[in-house]
Every structure is written in structure tokens, then in C-alpha cells.
Structure 1
Amino acid sequence: MAMKRCNNGHFYDDTKHSVCPFCGVQKIDISKTMPLKDAPSLHPQTPPMTPATEKTIAKGQAHANEGKTVGIMRSHLGFDPVVGWLVCIDGPDKGKDFRLKSEKNFIGRSSNMDVAISSDAGISRANHAVVSYNPRKNNFMLYPGESHSLVYLNSDEVCTPIQLNPGDCIEMGNTKLMFIPFCGEWFQWRND
């Protein structure tokens, strides 16, 4: 098996693939699917039994519920407040802090992640782990992500959700993060 490395750092078998299967096929022109000429319709349109009672939304118009999902705290307070931090205490980003918001914070290398640790190749690109803050219970949890790599809390492997406490050490890849809560027994955001 001949392994080749693409420009994005992925390894793949070049005897099976002409381009990196992880990056996707680039510069491919797929033309529009066209119906056969003079082909009869296999599914004739069924006439409605009763007239439509709801207003029909024209093609291209947005539905009222489309768009980005808004978290509970953001909808109540009008902004997404900080609820804690992860501080890198060892690894390529040593000294850097990462802000945590209410509800789920996805951790990975990608810039799309809530906590983006881009300089550690030992961390999965997406969803290596998740830190969540539950505003109803006023607590923090650590969840393992969808990565093949492991995540540790205070040197113990995390296989199921586990509660986070102030000063806990989260390890993934070559990075160690200390958990510093802002919300807890001493403070909780209220929408007064």
C-alpha cells in the first residue's frame, strides 16, 4: 500500500484514489440532470381533494423559522455571555485562553469550532470534545466528541459525560487546558 500525503496533511492510498478522498473532488463539472425527451411522467400530479388552507410560501422565500438556532441565554438576555474559560497550560497554545458560552462548546482544530485549537495536530479537526454549560442546573459537563482520539479529565479517560469542577485539567492531543468557570455557586446570569 503506497501512502501519499495531500497538501492539507491527509494520508491516503494513491493506488486506490487519484486525489485525496478526504478533501473531496475538485474541478469536477457535473452537468444538470435532464429528462428524456418525450418521456411520459411516471408520477402524474394528483389533484388536491380540498383547497389548501395554509398560505403557500413562494419558492425562494424564507420560512419564518429558518436561520441560525439561538441559544436560551442569548434569547433571554439579548447577548451570549461568557460563562467560563479554558486556559491552555501546556501545548502549542500555552498561555492562550478560550471563552466558553452557554450550552454546548465544540472543541477542535477547525476555525468553525467554538474552541478552535488550530496549532495542535493531535486534536481532531471537528468535535474532539464538548464542554457544556447548563443554565438551568448551573453546571458544566465534559463530553467525549466524535474523534478517534481520546480526551482526558484529570488524567482519566472520558467515555461518558462527566461534571467539570473549577481547576480541572482537560487533555487532548498535546494540549492541556485548565477549566475556569465564571458561572457557578457565586454567580449566574439572570434576565432581570
Structure 2
Amino acid sequence: MIRRCSKGHWYDTSTNKVCPHCKLESEKLGIGIQDVEEDDRTISIADVGLSLGDELGAIIGNSVGNPITGTAIPGSMASGEDDDKTISFGFFGDTRQQPVTGWLVCMTGNERGKDYRLHAGKNFVGRSPSMDVVMVDDKKISREKHCSVIYDPKSDSFYVAAESGNLVYLNDELLESTEELEQEDKITIGDTSFIFIPFSRGKRKWKNE
């Protein structure tokens, strides 16, 4: 049950018998907690016109303690700064954006004209949001790993490979094994066609820093 204390703090009565914020303040001031809790009453967030989104927004935006659990919000979650990198909010670890090695440019369907960044290693294509190249609208594309586009830094080469026996066409020919890609090759899966554009090639390479 969510409860609001006499000082306006929100907390969860299932995990805290008294307001953790008031308790902390009273300990600092040497005041008994009973002196500040007598006016507490259980109240619905809806009764005061607050949404859960408003509450969470206030928590993250102001870098304050969590009013529900009484615990502090980690600094990485409270930060909203954008420095042109993909920022981790502390849930999935380091998610800094990898250097681009090339692009797939969609030539058909609802995503026509959209480009998809490629990075070193395997770039999986599918409908799942967890894929590197996400194609939600084409139901003929497998949800997970329909195919992959690979950049191998050691050989400085790109390849395309079918995954799990899915049909993939390279320049309108059925792909029967992993094939090396050349600039402006056409890759077709489902009802979607891509043109491949390399960035890392020859002297134009990313160096480890």
C-alpha cells in the first residue's frame, strides 16, 4: 500500500512501517519518529492527480531518493545528459555505440530509404527489437536472426550469411553459402531488399583506442 506522510513523502507500507525519509530526518535531529508520523494517512496516488509516470519522472529527473522504497537512485539512472553516445542507464552495462563499418539501405516497403548501421562482427537481421537490423513490418522475415552481415576487421572484408536455413538472395541469386559482399550488392530477404554500402575499406579503418 502506498502511503503519504504528513510531510508529503511517499513510501510503501509493505516494506517500511514508517516514512523512511522522516525517520532519517528525525534521527539527525534527535526527534522520536512518533512525533512526525501521527498525521500519516494512506492515500491513493490517483486521489492527488499523480500518475506513476509523473512519480518516476520526478524521481529520475531530480535525482532524489525513491519515494516508494526509500532507496537512493543510482547516479547513472538519474542522468539524462546526451553526449552523442548511446548512454547506459545502468540496466545493461556498457552500451557505448560501436563505430560504423557500413550500411544497409532499404530499397522496398515501408522502410524504403532508411539506412541501418553495421558494426564489426556479426550484424543480425530480423523482426525482433534485439536484432542489429530490425525489420518489424515484413512478416516474411524471421523474428530472430534471419541472416547476418559480417565485417571481419582482420581480412577487412564483408560477408553475408543465411541463418537457420532461411532464404536469402544475393543479387537475385539464392545464397547457398557465406559470400563476400561488394559495394552496392543487393541483399533480399522476405519482401525486403537492401543495398550494401561499405565504410571500412582499405585505408579507411577504425583503430583500437
Task: Give the TM bin, normalised by the shorter chain.
Answer: 0.5 to 0.7
Which residue matches 2:204?
187
Which residue matches 1:109?
127
Task: State the secondary structure of the residue aligned to 1:82.
Answer: coil
Whether 1:145 and 2:157 are equivalent positions in the alignment is no
Residues 107 and 128 in structure 1, CA contact (< 8 A), matched pair in contact too: yes
Structure 2 counterpart of 1:158, from 175, 181, 202: 175
Aligned residues: 118
Task: State the secondary structure of the residue aligned to 1:131.
Answer: strand
Measure, in 2, the Cα distance between the counterparts of 1:105 and 1:166: 17
Q: Give the ranges of 4+ consecutive aligned residues of structure 1 lying more than 6 Å apart after TM superposition.
A: none
TM-score scaled by length of structure 2: 0.53
Structure 1 counterpart of 2:195, from 154, 178, 183: 178
Which residue matches 1:134?
152
CA displacement at 1:90 relative to structure 2:
1.4
Residues 84 and 99 in structure 1, CA contact (< 8 A), matched pair in contact too: yes
Residue 85 of structure 1 aligns with an amino acid whose one-letter code is W
Which residue matches 1:84?
102
Measure, in 2, the Cα distance between the counterparts of 1:79 and 1:89: 25
Task: State the secondary structure of the residue aligned to 2:151.
Answer: strand
CA displacement at 1:79 relative to structure 2:
5.6
The structure where helix makes up a greater share of residues is 2
- Equivalences for residues 40-119 of structure 1 within 5 A: 80-119=98-137
- Equivalences for residues 20-35 of structure 1 within 5 A: none
Residues 86 and 180 in structure 1, CA contact (< 8 A), matched pair in contact too: yes
Per-residue CA deviations over 1:110-155 (Å, capped at 9, x if unaligned) read 11111111111111111110100001111100001115x4100001
Task: State the secondary structure of the residue aligned to 1:98.
Answer: strand
Greater relative CO, 1 or 2 (CA 8 Å, sep 6+): 1
Task: State the secondary structure of the residue aligned to 1:90.
Answer: coil
Q: Greater Rg, structure 1 or structure 2?
A: 2
Give me the identity figure in percent. Answer: 40
Q: Structure 1: 5+ residue runs without aligned partners?
A: 1-67
Residues 110 and 125 in structure 1, CA contact (< 8 A), matched pair in contact too: yes
